[in-house]
Amino acid sequence: MEPDLFTAAAEDRQEKDPAASPLAVRMRPRTLDEVVGQAHLLKPGSPMRRLVEKGAEGGGPAGPSSVILWGPPGIGKTTLAHVVSQATNKRFVELSAITAGVKEVRAVIDGARRASGGYGKETVLFLDEIHRFSKAQQDSLLPAVENRWVTLVAATTENPYFSIISPLLSRSLLLTLQALTDDDLRGLIQRALTDERGLDGAVTLHEDAEAHLLRIAGGDARRALTALEAGAGSAIAKGEAEISLETLEGAVDRAAVKYDRDGDQHYDVASALIKSIRGSDVDATLHYLARMIEAGEDPRFIARRLMISASEDVGLADPTALQTAVAGAQAVALIGFPEARITLSQVAVALALAPKSNAAYLAIDAALADVRAGLAGPVPAHLRDSHYKGAQKLGHGQGYAYPHDVPGGIAAQQYAPDSVHGKRYYEPTRYGAEARYADVVERVRERLRGERPPGKDTP
């Protein structure tokens, strides 16, 4: 909402006593040049830069567009909105979808129309957590955005294609924020240690403590600064000039996991997770999964590894395994940590306890090996495309038996090129659901060779 007497008093107190605000608030960037990460959104001529740098000049024939900022928590969505509020001469109003409703939105829109008509001042509306708005609440924004009574800057942590109505998406630019890297956070931490708005050199940070801080931050700048402030407060209380790993662990109540996301541990633990799934040891699977989560591993990386395992190690022994893994990956992308740990656990347990088969994995590798060895002869003439003019003169499609016209739906004819005709790439196991495929594939191969007459039995 717009500042009132109490808001102004709180801001005045924070200005006189900076320590009254959390470190993450004090270190909030004041200009685009101080923003950490998101370089792809801040290039010259980009929507965000135009909104900040051209805001005071009015819209002109191509004014700044409304934008929707999408990304996980702690990577700069609110920060960008506050940079807009400080850098532009426009009227800036902030709402949260957690507490605001249609009534508050309409009040802002009415105020924006009065400000525009009364003294020519445009309004920027920052709406945080817009995905929490219902369809009706989002509908109330449409006239103001369409007529540019307000320039909307909306933030969401959920996929906007699922959580934001299409008419509002079509009237705004969707800007996707990227996860902050360790280098991004490292620069922010060092700035907070030395900047007068931050800790102003009161303490230093040991290298091991910095590494632990980056791990527990998980790409979240707010979490990193909150943990840094806790560690600094603990060090100062103990009369220490440096934040040690032990002090930081005690301050955040979280032990450092010996795990380097860019080194051997990253690959060793990921390998152990997959091999534990392959070996059907569900308890070891959960142990390694917990280590990856606690170390701040990207949940999307874990989800990708689980999807690969679903095809490589479970395969058709449980055809639902890949569906489970893909659904899990989609859920992880939508909800993020900490709740994503539950989804990852569900998928990992399902894969570990599923029957195993690598037949599909071996089959494609065997087929690829033959293709790479040059066994890729001409496509049989009866299988070639016969829909274009002149194809019949070339003999394309002639003699092709349409399987749907044959009893049993399988026509005895050659499909593979001569060079690999008769090759058996897929050798199903007798584990789990793949046992059915093992029976089916033998009957189908016999019928394709004409050795098994069509009957009432199905493949």
pLDDT at residue 12, as a whole number: 53
pLDDT band at 455 (very low <50, low <70, confident <90, very high): low
Mean pLDDT of the region 242-264 = 69
Tokens of 26: 């004090």
Q: Which amino acid is at 132?
A: R
The residues, any chain, with a CB within 8 Å of residue 59's CB and separated by 6 or more, are: 122, 148
pLDDT at residue 54, as a whole number: 61
Mean pLDDT of the region 31-38 = 81
- 351 pLDDT higher than 70: yes
Outline where DSSP puts E strands in 308-412.
none
Distance CA 275, CA 255 (A): 26
pLDDT band at 395 (very low <50, low <70, confident <90, very high): low
- Give residue 240's Cα distance to chain centre: 39
pLDDT band at 10 (very low <50, low <70, confident <90, very high): very low
Q: Check if the beta carbon of residue 329 is closer than 8 Å to that of residue 378.
A: no
pLDDT band at 18 (very low <50, low <70, confident <90, very high): low
pLDDT band at 6 (very low <50, low <70, confident <90, very high): very low
- 435 pLDDT higher than 80: yes
Q: Check if the beta carbon of residue 54 is closer than 8 Å to that of residue 45.
A: no
> What average pLDDT does the structure give for the chain?
81
Q: Which helix (H) or strand (E) holds 78?
A: helix 77-87
Q: Check if the beta carbon of residue 293 is closer than 8 Å to that of residue 344.
A: yes
- 135 pLDDT higher than 80: yes
Looking at per-residue pLDDT, the higher value among 383 and 343 belongs to 343
pLDDT at residue 356, as a whole number: 92
Rg (CA), the chain: 30
- pLDDT, one tens digit per residue, over 58-80 is 444 455 678 898 887 778 888 88
CA end-to-end distance (rounded Å), the chain: 67
pLDDT at residue 282, as a whole number: 87
Tokens of 351: 């894969």
Tokens of 96: 């949260």
Q: What percent of the chain has pLDDT over 90?
A: 16
Question: Residue 91: beta bridge partners?
Answer: 123
pLDDT at residue 7, as a whole number: 46
Distance CA 297, CA 339 (A): 14
Give start and end residues of each alpha helix (H) in 158-280.
Answer: 160-163, 166-170, 182-194, 207-217, 221-237, 245-252, 264-278
Looking at per-residue pLDDT, the higher value among 419 and 198 belongs to 198
Mean pLDDT of the region 367-378 = 83
Q: CA 214 → CA 183, 209, 247, distances in Å?
A: 9, 9, 15
The DSSP symbol for 280 reads T
Mean pLDDT of the region 412-438 = 82
Task: Look at the pTM and tell me if it is higher than 0.85.
Answer: no
Peptide bond into 355 cis (omega under 30): no
- pLDDT, one tens digit per residue, over 290-328 is 988 877 778 888 999 999 999 999 998 999 999 999 999
pLDDT band at 29 (very low <50, low <70, confident <90, very high): confident
Tokens of 139: 């509908």
- pLDDT, one tens digit per residue, over 142-165 is 988 888 888 888 998 888 888 899
Burial of 381 (0-12, 13-18, 19+ CB in 10 A): middle
